[in-house]
Structure 1
Amino acid sequence: MPRNYLRKASDRCVVTDEQLEAAKLLISKGASKRKAASQVGLKESTLRKRLKAGKTATSMGRFSLTFTKERETDIYKYIKQSDDLYYGLTMQNLQKLIYEYAEVNKITHRFKTSSKLAGRGWVYGFLKRFLELKLRQPVPTSIARAMGFNITQVQRFYDKLQSLYNKHKFVPSQIYNMDESGVSTVPKKIPKVISVKGKKLVGKIVFLN
């Protein structure tokens, strides 16, 4: 499906999950389908079609979501966890992961079997459903830096720094910044990864070949 697909104008009724569940509840309590449809603001014919086909509000004509809301939520959580661990997924990483996820779980999909990748259109659609996520440019991070940047190691660094200050009585003119050595241990350019909007620092573990 095209990334910016616009559904053609139609007089077909759009059904929400809330309407469908409310109608099911009324029917389970003895209400007729006509009465249930009227109370939740739907046409009786629309409600009957939804109940007969087992469709939900995610169905949009011949287009429907590949995964259920629960499965997409699991994917969302995995993406966030990967990002937190400095292993943010690139566009292609996610496309490959989603294809394999659908295949392993025997989920019917429209992804291309030749490339074994989910379409970019699916990824952009997913990002629209989870607005907290966005493709962002990460900061290349060496694995040594990632492993060393935790509360225990940082506290040890400042404890040793304070000990040296107390022992040698350094004055400001004797303190130099040695970070800018000009020797890079990581690639300078890496692909964008899917991360959370508003996150101050997006890092990604990289290795030199």
Structure 2
Amino acid sequence: MVRKYERMSGRQSWSEEEMAKAVAAVVSGKMGYKLAARTYHIPRSTLQRRASKVRYQQPDDPKPLMGHYRRVFTESQEKDLVGYIKSMEKFFMGVSRRDIRELAFQYAEDNNLNHPFDVNTRMAGEDWVRNFLKRNPELLHKSEKDYELEPVNFDQFYHFMCQSS
């Protein structure tokens, strides 16, 4: 076992604070990439990549995730979905996971979003709904059996919500 490790390379020897200052200087136009990289002792290519992410990212873009999976809805769109589901519970007394999957598919289709949902079944996947409920634990206040007791006319509700907003 190595007890006294000494780093041999100088890769990523810069601090996040210095990187933030350099990105702010480049984005605001006070410095160019070369000057900011020399001033803050940061690799120019890393600075360019970070600055372009800040410069060209839309404020409502979904957060990027690790791996090849990506978010389908932005945070504000997910809040809309949560609002729809809560009002469904309020008016119709229960929503199943299947209803949430159908709602997600219809919402993505109506907003012309690029989504990986199944077009044949016209529903989002089981994994998506599981992760959605993890991100929104306020929807898990009832047991799953309570959700299955009362049927919901989903199409009628969705079109009612579209007309009211």
TM alignment of 1:154-193, pairs within 5 A = 191-193=145-147
Taking structure 1 as the reference length, what is the TM-score of the superposition?
Answer: 0.46
Q: Where does the alignment leave 5 or more consecutive residues of structure 1 unmatched? A: 1-19, 139-190, 195-203
The residue that corresponds to 2:29 in the other structure is 30
Structure 1 position 88, deviation (Å): 2.2
CA contact (8 A) 1:111 1:119 kept: yes
Matched letter for residue 84 of structure 2? Y
User: Within 5 Å, which residues of 2 pair with 1:116-195?
Assistant: 116-134=122-140, 136-137=142-143, 191-193=145-147
Aligned residue in 1 for 2:50 = 47
Secondary structure at the counterpart of residue 134 of structure 2: helix
**Could you tell me which residue of structure 2 aligns to residue 101 of structure 1?**
107
Which residue of structure 1 lines up, in the alignment, with residue 64 of structure 2?
59
Equivalent pair of 2:117/2:123 in contact (CA under 8 Å): yes
Structure having the larger proportion of residues in strand = 1
Provide the residue aligned with 2:95 in structure 1.
89
Superposed CA RMSD in Å reads: 3.8
Contact 2:23 2:50 in 1 (8 A): no
Whole-Å Cα distance in 1 between the matches of residues 54 and 115 of structure 2? 23
For 2:63, the aligned partner's letter is T
Distance 1:124 1:25, change over 3 A: farther
Write the distance in 2 (CA, Å) between the matches of 1:28 and 1:46.
12
CA contact (8 A) 1:99 1:111 kept: yes
Normalising by the residue count of structure 2, what TM-score does the alignment of the two structures yield? 0.56
The offset of 1:94, in angstroms, is 0.9
1:73 deviates by 0.5
Q: Which has the higher contact order (CA 8 A, sep 6+)?
A: 1
Q: Greater Rg, structure 1 or structure 2?
A: 1
d(CA) in 2 for partners of 1:57, 1:106 = 15
Contact 2:102/2:123 (<8 A) preserved? yes
Q: Deviations over 1:56-113 (max 9, x none)?
A: 5711142211011111011011111111224322011111111111112111000111
Distance in 2 between residues matched to 1:101 and 1:57, nearest whole Å: 16
Q: Is the 8 A contact 2:62 2:73 kept in 1?
A: no
Whole-Å Cα distance in 1 between the matches of residues 120 and 73 of structure 2?
21
Gaps of 5+ in 2: 1-19, 41-45, 153-165
Query: Residues 89 and 123 (structure 1 numbering): CA distance in 2 closer, same or farther, change over 3 Å?
Result: same
8 Å CA contact retained: 1:95, 1:118: yes
Q: How many residues align?
A: 122
CA distance in 2, matches of 1:29, 1:53: 13
